[in-house]
C-alpha cells in the first residue's frame, strides 16, 4: 500500500499567530517533597471542572525529598489521555533541571518560571513569563517552609490567568483538595489570586494556548488505576488482602484499606468483614493469601516486579495444588531494582510462566481505569472458578496516574465461587476425589477446611499427587495431572476476557496492543488516518492465555504490528508461538524508556516501517 507524506505544516509546532484551544500539555518541573502535589492537582482539576478532558501524569524519582520531579497535565478537546510527546507550557520551578527543561522544548513554546532563574537568556525562540514566586508567596506567609509551599499555588494562579482558567474553578479545586481545612483553603486562594494579579499587572500574553469552557467532563470522575483496582477488589468481595510495600503497588493496598474501612465494616456487629495484613515480605504476603484462598476466602496480594520474582515459588505451589488467589502486578521497569518509579510492560513472560516446572498462568491486562475496576472483579471469579492464581497486570502509568473516566457500573453478576462441595453435597454424592476431572473441563472439585463431613478432608501437597490427593511419584499419575492442568488452561481461554477487535474497511495492516498502550493507540489511529491515510485493524489483548481470536486476526492482516512497552516484544513472541505459519507477519513496535508510550512514537514507527525505512524495528 502507498503511504502518504505527512503534511509539512504539521511537523513544526503551531506558531503563536493562531489560537490553540483546549489542546496542550503543561509540564511542571519541581523538586519532590516540595508540596507541589496539591498545586498540580488543583491546576488539573480546575481545567477538568471547565469541562475539558484532561489526564495527569507524575514522573517522579525513587526518593522522598530533594530530587527532580515532573508533573504533566494534558488538556485534550478530543479526549486523548496518553502522554503527549511535546511539552507546550513549562512551569520551571526547579533550578537544577531548568536549563535542560528549557532546552528540550520545541520552538514557540511557553516557559513560566521563577524570575530568579533567569531562563530567558538560554534561548530566544520561546515565550517567557518570569514571575517572582517567592516574593508573592511572602505577601501571604512569612514562615520560610510555608512560603515554599505557597509559591506552588502562586504558579497555579499565574497559569490560570495566562490560559484563561476561571478563578472560581481554581477556588473550588482548592477547597476540594484541602477538604474543610479553612485556613489552608484561604491561604491558597489568596496566593493563587496574587499569581493571577501579577500577570494582569505586569505581563502581556504572547502565546496561543488557552482554555475555553466545554461540556466534555460532565459526570466524569478522576481516579488512578490502583484505586480503581482496590475498588474493584472490594466489590469482588475480597476478604483477605496481604501485601508488602513496593512502588508502584503500595497505593493499591492503601486505597483498599481506606475503602474497606469505609464500606466493609459490618453495621450489625461493628466487626471487619476483611483482614488486611502488611506482611514481612512478598513471600509471606503471597503465602498468607494462598493460605486464605485454600481455606475459602477471596484473597489477594498486590506487588511489582521484584515482589513477583520473590513470589515465584509460591505461585508454583498454588498452580500445582490448585488454590485460587489474585495477584496484582503494577509493573515497573526491571530487571532487578530497575527504575522503580518508571512504567513498563516487561513482566509478561515472567507472569505467564512464573515458577519452575511447566506452568502457564492466567494474566489479565486492564487498559483503563474502568477495566481496572471490572477486570479486578473478573479476576476473583476466574481464580475461584479455575482454582489457580490469576494475575492482574497493570503498570505504573495506569496504576499511579490520574485518569478521567465515566463512573463505573455496579457489578450485577453474582460472585462465582467455583466448584466447592459442601457437607450436603458430599452426602448426596457419596464420594469425593480432590483432583479428579469430573466435568471434563480440567477443573476438579474442592472442599474447604472445616467442612463437617467424613469425606471432606484431603491432603494438599506441593509434591506429586494422584486424583485422591495421595502422595504419588508414579509416572502415569504425574503425566495425567499435568495433562489435566493443560486442559484447564484450554478452559481458561474460553473464560478469560476476550480480545477487543476492530476491523476497518479497506485496512490491510493490523496493530496489536494491550494494557495502558491502548490510550496511545486510539490517538495513533487518528494520526495514521488523518495524516497518512492509513487505516488499520486493531486488536487489543485482554488476557493470557491467548485465545484463538489473535490467530485469526493475524491471518486476516497483511502484517501485524505488536506494540509493547518492553525491550524484547514479549507478547509478540507469545503471539508468534500461536500463529505458526504467520510468524513472518509479526512486527514489533517497542517503547522502553520508562516514560509512558505516546501516540506519535507508534505512528512514526508504523509509518517508517510501512515505507521500508526502518528494517530494524520490523523484526
Partner 1 sequence: MSVSAPKPKRVNRLGLTMIDYRGEPSTLCSGCGHDAISSQIMKSFYEMGVNPHRVAKMSGIGCSSKTPAYFLSNSHAFNGVHGRMPSLATGAVLANRKLVCIGVSGDGDTVSIGLGQFCHLLRRNVPMIYIIENNGVYGLTKGQFSATADPGSKLKTGVVNDLPPIDCCTLAIEMGCSYVARSYAGDPKQLVPLLQGALSHSGTSMLDVLSPCVTFNNHQGSTKSYRWAKEHEELLHQIDFVPHFEPIETVVYEEGELREVEMHDGSRIRLRKVDRDYNPTDRDAALRMLNETRDSGEFLTGLIYVNPVAENFLDLLNLPDTALAALPQEKLRPGREALEEAMQGLM
Among 99, 123, 264, 419, binds partner 1 (CB under 8 A): 264
Q: Does 289 bind partner 1 (CB under 8 A)?
A: yes
Say if CB 87 and CB 72 are below 8 A apart: yes
DSSP β-ladder status, 362-364 and 559-564: unpaired
Q: Does 586 bind partner 1 (CB under 8 A)?
A: no
Q: Does 375 bind partner 1 (CB under 8 A)?
A: no
Say if CB 361 and CB 553 are below 8 A apart: no
Question: What are phi and psi for residue 495, nearest 5 degrees?
Answer: -95, -25
Q: Does 580 bind partner 1 (CB under 8 A)?
A: no
**Cβ proximity to partner 1, 60 vs 408, nearer residue:** 408
**Cβ proximity to partner 1, 146 vs 172, nearer residue:** 172
HSE of 162, CA atoms in CB hemisphere, 13 A: 31
Among 236, 300, 513, 534, binds partner 1 (CB under 8 A): 236
Cβ-Cβ contacts under 8 Å for 591 (sequence gap 6 or more): 563, 564, 565, 597, 601, 602
Give the Cα separation of 313 and 489 in Å (integer). Answer: 20
Q: Does 172 bind partner 1 (CB under 8 A)?
A: no
Task: Give which of 121, 192, 184 is closest to 162, Cα–Cα.
Answer: 192
Cell numbers placing 20 = 490553540
C-alpha to C-alpha distances, 84 to 50, 363, 367, 519, 601, nearest whole angstrom? 20, 29, 18, 11, 10
Give the Cα separation of 609 and 602 in Å (integer). Answer: 10
Among 415, 433, 535, 559, binds partner 1 (CB under 8 A): 415
Among 28, 119, 288, 606, binds partner 1 (CB under 8 A): 288
What residues from 435 to 454 belong to the interface with partner 1 (CB under 8 A)? 447-454
**Cβ proximity to partner 1, 461 vs 480, nearer residue:** 461
**What is the Rg, in whole angstroms, of the alpha carbon atoms belonging to the chain?**
27
Q: Does 433 bind partner 1 (CB under 8 A)?
A: no
**Cβ proximity to partner 1, 339 vs 420, nearer residue:** 420
**Cβ proximity to partner 1, 17 vs 412, nearer residue:** 412
Residue carrying the nine cell digits 497486570: 393
Residue carrying the nine cell digits 483482614: 275
Among 12, 273, 530, 555, binds partner 1 (CB under 8 A): 273
Q: Does 414 bind partner 1 (CB under 8 A)?
A: yes
Say if CB 367 and CB 519 are below 8 A apart: yes
- Four-point Cα dihedral 414, 418, 423, 426, nearest 10: 130
Say if CB 76 and CB 199 are below 8 A apart: no
Min. distance of Cβ 563 from partner 1 in angstroms? 29
Q: How many residues in the shown chain lie near partner 1 by CB under 8 A?
A: 76
Q: Does 535 bind partner 1 (CB under 8 A)?
A: no
What DSSP state is assigned to residue 442?
A: S
**Cβ proximity to partner 1, 289 vs 330, nearer residue:** 289
Strand (E) or helix (H) holding 578: helix 570-579
Min. distance of Cβ 233 from partner 1 in angstroms? 11
What residues from 451 to 490 belong to the interface with partner 1 (CB under 8 A)? 451-454, 456-463, 471
Among 1, 100, 213, 295, binds partner 1 (CB under 8 A): 295
Among 5, 142, 269, 336, binds partner 1 (CB under 8 A): 269
Q: Does 18 bind partner 1 (CB under 8 A)?
A: no
**Cβ proximity to partner 1, 154 vs 288, nearer residue:** 288
Min. distance of Cβ 238 from partner 1 in angstroms? 8
Min. distance of Cβ 285 from partner 1 in angstroms? 8
Q: Does 275 bind partner 1 (CB under 8 A)?
A: yes
Give the Cα separation of 306 and 312 in Å (integer). Answer: 10
Say if CB 58 and CB 73 are below 8 A apart: no
Give the Cα separation of 336 and 313 in Å (integer). Answer: 17
Q: Does 274 bind partner 1 (CB under 8 A)?
A: yes
In three-state secondary structure terms, 247 is: coil
Cell numbers placing 93 = 520551578
Say if CB 24 and CB 159 are below 8 A apart: no
- Candidates 142-150, 239-247, 472-480, 590-598: pick the segment binding partner 1 (CB under 8 A): 239-247
- Exposed, middle or buried: residue 494 (CB in 10 Å: 0-12, 13-18, 19+)? exposed
- Candidates 67-75, 100-108, 270-278, 586-594: pick the segment binding partner 1 (CB under 8 A): 270-278
Q: Does 590 bind partner 1 (CB under 8 A)?
A: no
Q: Does 6 bind partner 1 (CB under 8 A)?
A: no
Task: Give which of 130, 149, 138 is closest to 188, Cα–Cα.
Answer: 149
**Cβ proximity to partner 1, 49 vs 344, nearer residue:** 49
Among 155, 178, 235, 243, binds partner 1 (CB under 8 A): 235
What residues from 200 to 229 belong to the interface with partner 1 (CB under 8 A)? 219-223, 227
Among 14, 84, 147, 298, binds partner 1 (CB under 8 A): 298
**Cβ proximity to partner 1, 42 vs 507, nearer residue:** 42
Min. distance of Cβ 281 from partner 1 in angstroms? 7
Among 314, 391, 445, 561, binds partner 1 (CB under 8 A): 314
The strand pairing partners of 372, in sequence order, are none
Min. distance of Cβ 324 from partner 1 in angstroms? 11
Among 277, 339, 433, 559, binds partner 1 (CB under 8 A): 277
Q: Does 408 bind partner 1 (CB under 8 A)?
A: yes
Within 203-240, residue ranges assigned H as helices are 225-235
**Positive or negative CA dihedral for 336, 32, 368, 273?**
positive
Amino acid at each position: 500500500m502507498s503511504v502518504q507524506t505527512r503534511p509539512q505544516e504539521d511537523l513544526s509546532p503551531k506558531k503563536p499567530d493562531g489560537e490553540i484551544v483546549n489542546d496542550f500539555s503543561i509540564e511542571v518541573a519541581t523538586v519532590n517533597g516540595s508540596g507541589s502535589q496539591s498545586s498540580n492537582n488543583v491546576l488539573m482539576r480546575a481545567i477538568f471542572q471547565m469541562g475539558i478532558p484532561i489526564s495527569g501524569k507524575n514522573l517522579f524519582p525513587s526518593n522522598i525529598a530533594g530530587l527532580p520531579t515532573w508533573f504533566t497535565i494534558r488538556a485534550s478537546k478530543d479526549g486523548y489521555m496518553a502522554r503527549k510527546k511535546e511539552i507546550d507550557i513549562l512551569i520551571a520551578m526547579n533550578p537544577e533541571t531548568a536549563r535542560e527543561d528549557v532546552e528540550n522544548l520545541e520552538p514557540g513554546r511557553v516557559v513560566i518560571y521563577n524570575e530568579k532563574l533567569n531562563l530567558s537568556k538560554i534561548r530566544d525562540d520561546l515565550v517567557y513569563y518570569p514571575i517572582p514566586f517567592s516574593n508573592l508567596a511572602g505577601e501571604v506567609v512569612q514562615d520560610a517552609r510555608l512560603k515554599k509551599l505557597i509559591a506552588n499555588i502562586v504558579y497555579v494562579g499565574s497559569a490560570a490567568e495566562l490560559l484563561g482558567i476561571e478563578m472560581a474553578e481554581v477556588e473550588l479545586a482548592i477547597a476540594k483538595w484541602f477538604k474543610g481545612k479553612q485556613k489552608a483553603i484561604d491561604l491558597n486562594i489568596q496566593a493563587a489570586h496574587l499569581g493571577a494579579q501579577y500577570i494582569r499587572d505586569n505581563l502581556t500574553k504572547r502565546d496561543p494556548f488557552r482554555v475555553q469552557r466545554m461540556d466534555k467532563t460532565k459526570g466524569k470522575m478522576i481516579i488512578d488505576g490502583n484505586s480503581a483496582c482496590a475498588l474493584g477488589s472490594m466489590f469482588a468481595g475480597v476478604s483477605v488482602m496481604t501485601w508488602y510495600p513496593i512502588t508502584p503497588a503500595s497505593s493499591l493496598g492503601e486505597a483498599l484499606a481506606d475503602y474497606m474501612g469505609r464500606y466493609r465494616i459490618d453495621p450489625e456487629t461493628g466487626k471487619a468483614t476483611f483482614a488486611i495484613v502488611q506482611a514481612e515480605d512478598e513471600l509471606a504476603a503471597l503465602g498468607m493469601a494462598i493460605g486464605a484462598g485454600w481455606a475459602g476466602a477471596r484473597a489477594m496480594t498486590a506487588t511489582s516486579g521484584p515482589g513477583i520474582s520473590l513470589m515465584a515459588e509460591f505461585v508454583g505451589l498454588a498452580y500445582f495444588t490448585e488454590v485460587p488467589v489474585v495477584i496484582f502486578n503494577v509493573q515497573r521497569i526491571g530487571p532487578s531494582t530497575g527504575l522503580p518509579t518508571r512504567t513498563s510492560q516487561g513482566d509478561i513472560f515472567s507472569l505467564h510462566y512464573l515458577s519452575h516446572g511447566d506452568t502457564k498462568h492466567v494474566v489479565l491486562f486492564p487498559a483503563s481505569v474502568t477495566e481496572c475496576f471490572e477486570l479486578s472483579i473478573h479476576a476473583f471469579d476466574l481464580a475461584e472458578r479455575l482454582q489457580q492464581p490469576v494475575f492482574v497486570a497493570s503498570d505504573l502509568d495506569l496504576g499511579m496516574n490520574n485518569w478521567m473516566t465515566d463512573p463505573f457500573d455496579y457489578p450485577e453478576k453474582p460472585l462465582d465461587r467455583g466448584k466447592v462441595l459442601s457437607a450436603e453435597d458430599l452426602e448426596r454424592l457419596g464420594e469425593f476425589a480432590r483432583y479428579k476431572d469430573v466435568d471434563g473441563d480440567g477443573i476438579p472439585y474442592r472442599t474447604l477446611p472445616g467442612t463437617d463431613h467424613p469425606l471432606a478432608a484431603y491432603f494438599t501437597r506441593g509434591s506429586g499427587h494422584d486424583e485422591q490427593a495421595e502422595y504419588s511419584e508414579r509416572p502415569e499419575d504425574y503425566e495425567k495431572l499435568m495433562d489435566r492442568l493443560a486442559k484447564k488452561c484450554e478452559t481458561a481461554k474460553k473464560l478469560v476476557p476476550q480480545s477487543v477487535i476492530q476491523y476497518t474497511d479497506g485496512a490491510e495492516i493490523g496493530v496489536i496492543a494491550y494494557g495502558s498502550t491502548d490510550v496511545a493507540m486510539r490517538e495513533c489511529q487518528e494520526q495514521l488516518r488523518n495524516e497518512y491515510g492509513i487505516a488499520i485493524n486493531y486488536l487489543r489483548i485482554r488476557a493470557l492465555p491467548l485465545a484463538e481470536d489473535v490467530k485469526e486476526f493475524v491471518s486476516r492482516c497483511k502484517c501485524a504490528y505488536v506494540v509493547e512497552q518492553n525491550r524484547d516484544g514479549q507478547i509478540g513472541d507469545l503471539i508468534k508461538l500461536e500463529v505458526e505459519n504467520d510468524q513472518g507477519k509479526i512486527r514489533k513496535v517497542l517503547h522502553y524508556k520508562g516514560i509512558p508510550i505516546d501516540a506519535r512514537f507508534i505512528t512514526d514507527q508504523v509509518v517508517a516501517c510501512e515505507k521500508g525505512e526502518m528494517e530494524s524495528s520490523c523484526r
